[in-house]
Amino acid sequence: MKAILKISLILTIFCMYSCAETQQVLETTGRVQLDGTYTITILNGDSVNGMTINFSGITKRVSGYGGCNQYFADYTLNNLTLSIGDIGATKKACPNLDNETELFEALANVGSYNSVGKSLTLYSKDNNDVLIEATEN
């Protein structure tokens, strides 16, 4: 009887540990839905060059190059709903920061995304307009 009790206890502990491991894998998988480095090709309907965006699914950080400065922020992801937090950036002085400023404003307004193959599209939270189109490197 004691042997059966011990075996039952060991099996219960093993099952609980396995469930915790499975939950951790599922949570990690959900975070890495959006992951990789992309070259931004379209910003608010206009073609752009030299801008990048990188999503790290494990750390939930977005970063990249805005044409003059490096930028970074935290993001949250829930299914296809994407929210980018306050954006920090280096402070290089460049002659024209208009596109970079436009990029930072677009990122602050992101509400959802779609990723198909190597294409990433970021949509506004207000009216689902396309804000950013990018291609995975």
Helix (H) or strand (E) holding 70: strand 70-78
Q: Which two tokens stand for residue 66?
A: 């805005």
Q: What separation in angstroms does the CA of 30 have from each of 27, 73, 94?
A: 5, 19, 38
Three state DSSP letters for 37-57 = EEEEEEECCEEEEEEEEEEEC
Residue 122, Cβ neighbours under 10 Å: how many? 25
pLDDT at residue 20 tops 50? yes
What does the pLDDT look like over 88-121, one tens digit per residue?
999 998 988 999 999 999 999 999 999 999 999 9
Q: In sequence order, what are the beta bridge partners of 55?
A: 36, 62
What does the pLDDT look like over 66-89, one tens digit per residue?
999 999 999 999 887 999 999 999
